[in-house]
Amino acid sequence: MTRQLAGKRALITGASRGLGRAICRVFAEEGARVAFTYSRDVEGAATTVSEIESAGAEARPYAVSVLDPAATESMLKHLETAWDGLDILVNNAGISQNLPLALLEEEDWDRVMDLNAKGSFLTARAVLRRMIRKKAGAVLNIGSLAGVRMLEAPVHYSASKAAVRGLTQGLAKEVARHGIRVNCLAPGLLEDGVGKNLPPYRLAEYLRHCALGRLGTLDEVARFAAFLVSDANSYMSGETILMDGGL
Ligand SMILES: NC(=O)c1ccc[n+]([C@@H]2O[C@H](COP(=O)([O-])OP(=O)(O)OC[C@H]3O[C@@H](n4cnc5c(N)ncnc54)[C@H](OP(=O)(O)O)[C@@H]3O)[C@@H](O)[C@H]2O)c1
């Protein structure tokens, strides 16, 4: 059977655990070569490498923060030499912080907005400069239900994910003429990752309203991400797709 991403070269940000790692593994299973970034977790990154390699694909880990344009640039130069460029970017790196508005400091707002919104912009800008020259590519930004629907979530996180949705639309319109598609996948609450330490009442509320009555799995989201960046998804751009079990 033909694999969805056979021959593709992908970069996934923030993949030393959680959804990023699941996306790396699934992309590898679907035939892609997989480069990924992380900021600190060297051991987690080694596990991601072994999952990619176990799927029979080439792995390239980079300890590069999405907020470091110089390091991002040298990683991309390195990937140009090694792979002659990239076909796919997934802006996945993201953080949250479970704090009510009254306890949010200005620095908290800046940290979450910077990483989630500015980090996606900086990485997309660097990668798209190259994709535009090649006139091909697919970008997937990982948003969140919290950036689309009114639900109880930290306000800086909701604002940053709404920004990712706007970034998706602006980029999609601008780069469509170069044959590049940009979409946003916005998951609801998943079994692992940023939502893990939610207060029990918020988890219960989510499950009460979720039609499927359970959290999403990392694997479910990663498999849909593979379809979204594949050539089979050729007529979708600027879209934010909710994957939340029906809320
Ligand atoms: N899990 C959910 O329920 C859920 C729901 C909706 C949306 N999302 C979104 O899905 C994405 C992944 O979330 P997750 O739940 O998998 O989070 P996670 O388990 O906390 O993983 C976050 C990843 O981002 C990396 N990272 C942090 N700062 C970075 C930086 N400056 N540069 C590069 N990488 C960095 C971390 O690596 P280091 O540890 O090395 O720093 C880690 O690999 C996020 O955008 C999140 O908002 C998640």
Question: What is the structure's pLDDT at 80?
Answer: 98
Question: What is the structure's pLDDT at 2?
Answer: 85
How large is the average pLDDT for residues 125-154? 97
Is any ligand 1 atom within 6 A of the Cβ of residue 190?
yes
Q: Are 68 and 44 in contact (CB under 8 A)?
A: no
pLDDT in tens, 41-77: 999 999 999 999 999 999 999 999 999 999 999 999 9
206 tagged catalytic:
no
Does residue 113 fall inside a structural domain? yes
How large is the average pLDDT for residues 123-141? 98
Does residue 1 fall inside a structural domain? no
Q: Is the pLDDT of residue 27 over 90?
A: yes
Give percent of the chain with pLDDT exceeding 70: 100
Ligand 1 atom nearest the C-alpha of 96 is: 47
Is any ligand 1 atom within 6 A of the Cβ of residue 115?
yes
Residue with tokens 């056979």: 6
Residue whose CA is closest, atom 39 of ligand 1? 41
pLDDT in tens, 171-182: 999 999 999 999
Q: Is the pLDDT of residue 1 over 80?
A: no
Distance 1 CA to ligand 1 centre (A): 32
Count of domains for the chain? 1
Does residue 106 fall inside a structural domain? yes
> CB burial class (10 A; 0-12, 13-18, 19+) of residue 103?
exposed
Question: What is the structure's pLDDT at 197?
Answer: 80
R_g of the chain computed on alpha carbons: 17
Distance 14 CA to ligand 1 centre (A): 6
Is any ligand 1 atom within 6 A of the Cβ of residue 154?
no
CA distance 72 to 170: 22
Q: Is the pLDDT of residue 223 over 90?
A: yes
How large is the average pLDDT for residues 212-222? 97
Q: Residue 47 is part of which domain span? A: 9-240
Q: Is the pLDDT of residue 195 over 80?
A: no
Question: What is the structure's pLDDT at 230?
Answer: 98
CA distance 198 to 99: 10
Q: Which residue has the higher pLDDT, 197 or 144?
A: 144
Does residue 21 fall inside a structural domain? yes
Residues 6+ apart with CB under 8 A from 102: none
Question: What is the structure's pLDDT at 215?
Answer: 96
pLDDT in tens, 114-126: 999 999 999 999 9
Q: Are 183 and 176 in contact (CB under 8 A)?
A: no
Question: What is the structure's pLDDT at 198?
Answer: 86
pLDDT in tens, 69-115: 999 999 999 999 999 999 999 999 999 999 999 999 999 999 999 99
**Average confidence score pLDDT of the chain:** 97
Does residue 247 fall inside a structural domain? no
- CATH for 224: 3.40.50.720
Does residue 4 fall inside a structural domain? no
Query: Following DSSP, what letter does each residue of the chain receive, concatenated?
Result: ---TTTT-EEEESS-SSHHHHHHHHHHHHTT-EEEEEESS-HHHHHHHHHHHHHTT--EEEEE--TT-HHHHHHHHHHHHHHHSS-SEEEE---------GGG--HHHHHHHHIIIIIHHHHHHHHHHHHHHHHT-EEEEEE--GGGTS--S--HHHHHHHHHHHHHHHHHHHHHGGGTEEEEEEEE--BSSSTTTT--HHHHHHHHHH-TT-SPBPHHHHHHHHHHHHSTT-TT--S-EEEESS--
Q: Name the residue among 180, 183, 185 with its Cα closest to residue 128.
A: 180
Does residue 130 fall inside a structural domain? yes
